[in-house]
Amino acid sequence: MESPFVEVAKADEISPGKFIRVEVARKPYIIARVDDRFYAVEDNCSHEDYPLSYGCLDGNRIKCSLHGSRFSLETGAPEDEPADEPIRTYRLELCEGRLWLDPSPDISG
């Protein structure tokens, strides 16, 4: 079976505390770095379809710039109102300095 992973970035393109926006099959994702850990989430707020890439990181959360909800980069869970639904998270592998995204939603939580 073919690997679902797609190369999306080099790890050293993303500084700690920053993220980049990438597209795979025309769908946008956020690849974020917190210290030396990397996360992948959808680039879409669950409150109103609005790009989370307009927002910023707050520790290991991403904050929506429209109404301020913050979402865990690990689980996708909202931590503030008004959002009450999680965002999707994705598996991301780091291999030899390159980041590989599995664009199927991570159902393991």
Joined tokens for residue 76: 């996708």
Name the residue nearer to ligand FES (CB basis): 9 or 71: 71
Given the rule CB under 6 A, which residues bind ligand FES?
Answer: 45, 47-48, 50, 64, 66-67, 69, 82-83
Name the residue nearer to ligand FES (CB basis): 9 or 30: 30
Taking the complex as a whole, how short is the minimal distance between the CB of residue 55 and ligand FES, in angstroms? Answer: 8
The three-state secondary structure class of 97 is coil
Taking the complex as a whole, how short is the minimal distance between the CB of residue 43 and ligand FES, in angstroms? Answer: 12
Name the residue nearer to ligand FES (CB basis): 9 or 57: 57
DSSP 11: G
Contacts 24+ apart (CB under 8 A), 12-19: 12/97, 14/38, 17/57, 18/57, 19/53, 19/57, 19/62
